[in-house]
Amino acid sequence: MTMNKTFAFFLVALLGSVASAYGQSQILKKINEIKSQDDVYYYSQYAHPNADSARIGAAKWILIEINEERAENEQLTLGDILDKLKHIKMERGGVVRNFAYIAKAEIGSATITTANPTRPSSPRARTETFVPDMFVQKIVDIQDFKAVYNYLRAKKAERAILQFGPLKDVEDYSSLDLILFDLHTGKVITLLSGVTSGDERTNLLTGQPDSLDNYPEDMTAVIWYIK
């Protein structure tokens, strides 16, 4: 390869790298702008190796947040909001991150599903057959990572729990109950039991089978605890 061709190749590679970094910077800027407007948008993000799963996962978390603010007879379904959601997709290390958002004003025009109010949507139906214990409910109510940590520390002092700590402090955490937090927002995602079989755990909010593998490491922070 001649000197001119070598330089040209290097220049193309450099410009490609700069363009990619600039594009990533613009994406993050857009996401941060949306996050700074809690009064304007509902938003959520979800990561998964499969792009469709990441897209639906982000949509489901937004739906949960929307329905928390609505009356029982005004609960929406996923179908009510899917075509109104906007998505920003990023990929790194084989994992697709989907950031979904929707203007709160858009929800007013969504079709409210009330055809059969005695049969709520799936997440609500599960909570009617499985009720999390008081400890789990308290963790979810607290939400914030630092506040949850302080709560666990107080409970340990009261001997209401035996021990807790970050996942990195233990080599084998298969038997430990876990609290999962969104690494970016610091909010509780869910709680998982110790392993029941293979890599399977029980989701302590829904009572349904779940796995730590469903929550990418680079998107979550985890605290284990022993009651």
How open is the CA angle 173-165-95, to the nearest 5 degrees? 60
Comparing 24 with 154, the larger pLDDT belongs to 154
Whole-prediction pTM: 0.47
Q: What number of CA atoms fall less than 13 Å from residue 137's CA on the CB side?
A: 6
- pLDDT of the residue at 192: 93
Q: Rounded distance, CA 77 to CA 80, Å? A: 5
- Bridge partners (DSSP) listed for residue 222: 180
User: Cα separation of 127 and 200, whole Å?
Assistant: 20
Distances (CA, A) of 98 to 44, 88, 92, 141: 8, 6, 11, 26
As a whole number of angstroms, the distance between CA 53 and CA 59 comes to: 10
Looking at residue 77, its amino acid is: T
Q: According to the model, what pLDDT value does residue 164 have?
A: 93
* Distance of alpha carbon 220 from alpha carbon 44, whole angstroms: 14
Instruction: Encode pLDDT of 176-199 as tens digits.
Output: 999 999 888 889 988 999 998 888
Segments making up each domain of the chain, as ranges: 17-120, 130-226
pLDDT tens digits for range 119-169: 333 343 333 457 788 898 899 889 899 999 999 999 999 988 999 999 888
Render pLDDT for 39-54 as a digit per residue (tens, 0 to 9): 899 988 777 777 887 7
